Amino acid sequence: MTHYHIFKQHWFRTMTGTLNNRFIYASFITLLTVSSTIALGMSATAQKGRRDSRTRMVEPNVYAPDLYADNLRMKFTLVNLPGSAEPESYWEISYRLYFIPEASYREETMRQTRAARSAAGPPQYPGQVLLAKGEFKKKDIDTLKDRTHVLNAVRFKSKVPNRERTKFAVLMTVYSVKIYDARLKTTAYHSSYFETNPFADDPARPQTAVPRATIYTSFYLSPKGNIWGSQLPREGNDPNW
C-alpha cells in the first residue's frame, strides 16, 4: 500500500512498519504487507527506490521485552528549504512522543472501524504513556546540520509496564510544525502524527526484528510552499528528499 500526499491543513495518519495494522485488527487477518519506510510527498521514482515492502506475520500480544530499547533517540530534520540562506527564514516545532499499549490500540481501532469513522486528531488510548515532549525554534538554518535537531536518551523501556512490552505496541509522534521561508515569502503550518512499532528491521538480516533506536521526523518545503513529511531513516548529509 503506497501513499503519496502533500500536507494540507488537516489531520492524516501514516505509519512506519505497520501501515496496515488498523485493517488487520479490524478484520482479524494475520498476514499483512509491511511498508517499513514511508515518505509522504515523495515522487513515485524516489519512493520506489527507498521503500522497502515485505510481508510480516502479525503476532498479537507477543511478549517481546528484548525488542524494547532502554532509550530512544529522536531526530528532527528540515531536509529542504528554498530560502535556507535567508537570515529571516526559520522553522519551529512542538512534539510529543507516546507509547500506546497494543491492546488499547487494537480496541480503539476496532471501535472506530465499527463506527465507520476516524479520529479528527490524534486519538487518545487508555494506558498511553508520554515518553517525551518539547519544542524548539531554529534560525540560521543554511546547512542541513543547522536544520537538524536531536534529542538523546529518551527513557523508554523503564517507562513501559512490563506486561505491556509486546511486539506490536505503537509509538506515536504527535507534532505541529511552522516553517517560514524568506525567499518564498511563505509561512507553512502543519499538525499531524506518525506511528511506528518498538522494533525495526535489522538491515543485515532481513525479516529479523531488533529494538528501534531512533524515531525520525523529517520535513521538506517544496518550491511551491508545500510541506512534505516522512519517518524514513535519515542519517548523513544527504539533502535530497
Contact 19, 196 (CB under 8 A): no
At residue 111, the pLDDT reads 84
- Locate 141 and state its grid cell: 538554518
Quote the CA–CA distance of 198 and 169 in Å, as a whole number.
7
Residue 30 domain flag: yes
Residue 177 domain flag: yes
What is the total count of domains within the chain? Answer: 1
At residue 60, the pLDDT reads 87
Residue 240 domain flag: no
Tell me which DSSP letter residue 123 carries.
P
At residue 41, the pLDDT reads 45
Residue 7 domain flag: no
SS3 (DSSP) at 158: helix
At residue 121, the pLDDT reads 64
Quote the CA–CA distance of 178 and 191 in Å, as a whole number.
9
Residue 236 domain flag: no
CA neighbor of 219 nearest in space, from 97, 10, 39, 79? 79
Q: Over its length of 241 residues, how does the chain's per-residue pLDDT go in tens digits?
A: 323 233 333 333 333 333 334 433 443 323 332 333 334 444 333 443 344 444 566 778 999 999 999 999 999 999 999 999 999 999 999 999 999 999 999 998 888 788 766 665 677 889 999 999 999 999 999 999 999 999 999 999 999 999 999 999 999 999 999 999 999 999 999 999 999 999 999 988 878 999 999 999 999 999 999 999 999 888 888 777 7
Residue 130 domain flag: yes
Domain coverage including residue 36: 13-230
